[in-house]
Structure 1
Amino acid sequence: MKKLLLLLLIVFSVDTDAEAQLTVRVVRDSLFIPWELVYGPDNHIWFTQKNGYICRMQPASGKIDTLYNETNTRIQSEGGMLGMVLHPQFSNTPHVFVAYNYLDASVYKLRVARYEYNSTTNTLQNPQTIIENIGAASFHNGCRLLIIDGYLYITTGDATVTSTSQNLGSLNGKLLRLNLDGSIPADNPIAGNAAWSWGHRNAQGMVYANGKIYQTEHGANTDDEVNVIQKGRNYGWPTVQGYCNTATEISFCNDSAVVEPIEAWTPTLAVCGMDYYDHPMFPQFQKSLLMTTLKDSTLYQLKLNTASDDVSSISKVALIKYRRLRDICISPEGRIYISTSNSASSGTGTRIDRIVEIYDPSYNSIAQTENQQPSIEAYPNPATDMLTIKIKQYVFKGSADYKIVNMNGQVVMQGKLQNSSTAIGVKTLPAGLYKLMVYDGAALQAVTGVAIQ
């Protein structure tokens, strides 16, 4: 049920042009429901289309390469090809994990498969099933994917059978956690069980940031939700919708240790894709979840509190006017990409979906403070044992700090910059691509990419 908070009174539309030169351009059109957007380490946008195509797009030109057509994909209303994630060490392990619906005889199901990217042929090959036989239906199939610390997380919907969400013998209505080969990790909450959390209806947005999994979940007639996922916890569906605030809900919440959402909406918005923003291109978006919506056709900013475990304010990004918004990804340079979901769900008719870019054309990729232009250099790049961080033409007003962040958004190393040139040991970091972020006190001042080999 809906939580009565003063927070609801501070939801407003904002003209972000006043704070930064927010500019929108269409990168590519004539697409069919780009369900998942992933900004890859190759500086391309990888995306799925609901009809079974896995593609790779150059953001500047909009040029698309079709990498694979999964002919086993079956569209059935909301079902089809859904979520995707790239291996965090993609340069060394070029694996792509994709979820799609398929038919087993006449039974509709969900499968997650792994493909290998061949950079020579620019194609995907060698499909391997990670998990299958997950119940599916015309509605409520999930399905977003994440890889965190070498584990694959998969959101599954209740496939319109509400009782499955509380049934720990069912794969539906869960957040699943698997090893990358599809086996069940020994430290899952229940031995031999893939469930990481349960009591979910239909989660279609998920991002890992600040050491937390944030998830959007479609409500029924009330209470779309944003949740912070905790290991081995119950999220209440179908007994609890939104917050624990009726007698029946309170009793169930107490008995089942239900975790309440950090935000809920009634009327529902049809919450969907979500990403975390913390880049100086748009300072007003920093430390926020950016969330797309389908029914409400709006991009929302959910500003997080200091602990990053609750929503402190909600804003609408007023300039985005492309009807139903499906997914979102963010480039290391702070550019925001959004896909639409306006084509007929059956796959018939004209393909009218787009991928659009939001950016500030005046942003120079390095922040400016009182006409000073800090310049960051990291070398050698790629690095093996030691990485030197060099700062030029900048006087820090606060503490000079750095963070190294992996492709999952996890801070894997951080520390102080002792002077204009600081050498740090990176031998313990796994091979892969990272972001190096330099701060002046709490203010992010510079970002650059670093490769570890």
Structure 2
Amino acid sequence: MALYLVLIQIEVRNTSFNPFTAKLKMYNTFMKKSRFLLIFLVALAIVAMILGLWRPLERRLHPTSNPKSSEAPQVSILISGLEVPWALSFLPDRDLLVTERKGRVLLIDLQSGKPVIKVIAKINEVASVAESGLSGIAVHPHFQQNHWIYLYYTYRRNGRYVNKVVRYELMNNQLTNPKIILDNILAARTHDGGRIKFGPDGYLYITTGDAQVAKAAQNPKSLAGKILRIKDDGSIPADNPFPGSPVYSYGHRNSQGIAWDKAGNLWSTEHGSDAHDEINLIKPGKNYGWPIVRGNEKRSDMESPILQSCEATWAPAGAAIIGEKLYFAGLRGEALYVFNIKTHDLHKYFEGEFGRLRAVVVGPDGLLYVTTSNRDGRGLPRPDEILVINPKKL
């Protein structure tokens, strides 16, 4: 018993309270907790950053099937995995036609809820080099009676590049019976224009680039560097500004977007030379200056742009108008631009979020349908998509 008491006393002495030791233990405990808290906060910040950077991916997980405009989100992905989509055009039954630069024409069936892609043509003679290839598409205003679809594309003839407009019939989900309605449009690896649309007057309007021959834009005998206007069979309207010629306006470097406002005025977007991109109000027979003037330079016999980008660049492409707002896609600008045609205010949306944007059309649901162009050799390669954007939420 005595030995047991001695051992207890020794143990008590060894475990007696030591202020210094206690403080040291408290400090060590605090530092361990602080390190854990710091690691936790850093991890939380990284997770938050990742979620912020990949917010567009969240949208990709929820494709739209044609929502009502009042219910549609600001932006959603209709379809992904396309090969450099260039132009869009809706059929009367609300299905969507898409051109791809390498020569495919797609029909996206939007009737069954989930979009279904059908290949309705592969144009084998398309010369897809640099910026050239299959570009514009237009549906005839009386499609339900004649089934006519129009394409604009580049091909090689006698060792040189040429652009032409060809009319097809869409029968049983195939393009058939091709007929050339306009040919001999100067082409090149770049500056090929390519937008085609039917105007409110029922005529087909065609934008052409200068095909890297700047002086061609000022040559009235050349179809390059112009906006052209023809009948649906390729003949020349009697009221064209230059008798017997499809030329409607000239002096254009590379116009890739055209749209009409509710008053019937024609607007265009045009690529400048590295800068000084333009929004123009097109008037028949007028000269828009390239390559003699650019930007805010003026000449009494030439039209000045309504708006230009100064030393910046948008690389503007497709265009569409809703009310008083002109929506146009930016390739190099990687944004959707909204220009008020009354106040001339300009705003941009989704800058850098989806990459290069090419085509813009208004769907029958009042939403904007926009293509990306991220595999065209210019931007950061990623799968090309068709975006659906609700203009009411911009």
Residue among 295, 301, 306 paired with 1:262: 306
The structure with the largest alpha-carbon Rg is 2
Q: Which amino acid aligns with 1:122?
A: N
- Distance (whole Å) between structure 2 residues aligned to residue 20 and residue 241 of structure 1: 43
Per-residue Cα deviation, 1:19-70 (whole angstroms, up to 9, x for no partner): 9974322111111111001122111111100011111113452211111111
Question: Using the alignment, how far apart are the partners of 1:242 and 1:114 within structure 2?
Answer: 36
Residue 289 of structure 2 corresponds to 236
Partners of 1:242 and 1:184 in 2: CA distance: 32
Alignment check: 8 A CA contact 2:90 2:139 kept: no
- Which of the numbers 315, 320, 341 marks the counterpart of 1:275? 320
Separation of aligned partners in 1, 2:142 and 2:244: 27
Aligned-partner SS, 1:233: coil
> Does residue 1:117 correspond to 2:170, yes or no?
yes
Distance 1:101 1:84, change over 3 A: same
Report how many residues are paired: 318
Q: CA RMSD in A?
A: 2.2
Contact 2:307 2:344 in 1 (8 A): no
- String of CA shifts for 1:313-365, please: whole Å, max 9, x gaps: 1111248710000111121222221100011449xx98721111124999xxx
Q: Which AA in structure 2 matches 1:275?
A: A
Cα distance change, pair 319–76 in 1 and its aligned pair in 2 (3 A): closer
Aligned CA distance change for structure 1 residues 361 and 157 (closer, same or farther; 3 Å): closer
Q: 2:43 maps to which residue?
A: none
Name the structure, 1 or 2, with higher relative contact order (CA <8 Å, separation 6+).
Answer: 1
SS at match of 1:163: helix
State the partner residue of 1:193.
245
Match of 2:193 in 1: 142
Aligned to 1:39: 90
Q: How does 1:53-452 map to 2 (within 5 A)?
A: 53-59=104-110, 60-118=113-171, 121-148=172-199, 149-210=201-262, 211-244=264-297, 250=298, 253-254=299-300, 256=301, 258-266=302-310, 267-278=312-323, 287-305=324-342, 311-318=343-350, 321-345=353-377, 352-359=383-390
Q: Structure 2: which amino acid aligns with 1:48? A: T
Using structure 2 for the length normalisation, give the TM-score.
0.76
Q: Do the aligned partners of residues 93 and 312 (structure 1) sit closer, same or farther apart at CA in structure 2, a change above 3 Å counting?
A: same
Distance 2:90 2:359 in 1: 12
One-letter code aligned to 1:142: G
1 CA distance for matches of 2:248 and 2:72? 42
Question: Do the aligned partners of residues 178 and 75 (structure 1) sit closer, same or farther apart at CA in structure 2, a change above 3 Å counting?
Answer: same
Q: TM-score, normalised by structure 1?
A: 0.67
Match of 2:48? none
CA pair 262-350 structure 1, distance change in 2 beyond 3 A: closer
User: Structure 1 residues 162 and 127 mapped into 2: Cα distance closer, same or farther (>3 Å)?
Assistant: same
Q: Cα offset for 1:217?
A: 0.2
Structure 1 distance, partners of 2:189, 2:243, is: 31
Q: CA deviation at 1:107?
A: 0.7
Q: In the superposition, relative to structure 1, how do residues 165 and 23 fare at CA in structure 2: closer, same or farther (>3 Å)?
A: same
CA distance in 1, matches of 2:345, 2:190: 31
User: Alpha-carbon deviation of 1:221?
Assistant: 2.4
Q: Output the CA distance in 2 between the equivalents of 1:291 and 1:20.
A: 23
> What amino acid is the match of 1:205?
G
Aligned to 2:144, the other structure's residue is in SS state coil
Structure 1 residue 169 displacement after superposition: 1.0
Give the structure with the higher percent helix.
2
8 Å CA contact 1:177–1:196 kept in 2: the answer is: yes
Identical pairs, percent: 35
Distance 1:25 1:320, change over 3 A: farther
**In structure 2, what is the equivalent of residue 51 of structure 1?**
102
Instruction: Please tell me the residue identity of whatever aligns with 1:330.
Output: V
Letter of the 2:303 counterpart: V
Deviation at 1:90, TM superposition (A): 1.3
- Offset of 1:194 from its aligned partner? 1.5
- For the 8 Å contact 1:21–1:361, the answer to whether it is kept is no
SS at match of 2:143: coil
Is the CA contact (8 Å cut-off) linking 1:299 and 1:320 kept in structure 2? no
Matched letter for residue 153 of structure 1: Y
- Which position in structure 1 is the counterpart of 2:9? none
* CA drift at 1:159: 0.2
* Map of 2:37 onto structure 1: none
Partners of 1:135 and 1:226 lie apart in 2 by 23
Query: Is the Cα–Cα contact under 8 Å of residues 31 and 351 in structure 1 kept in the other structure?
Result: no
Q: Which runs of 5+ in 1 are unaligned?
A: 1-18, 245-249, 279-286, 306-310, 363-453
226 and 126 in structure 1: CA distance in 2 versus 1, 3 angstrom threshold: same
Give the whole-Å Cα distance in 2 for the aligned partners of 1:90 and 1:351. 35
Residue type of the partner of 1:321? E
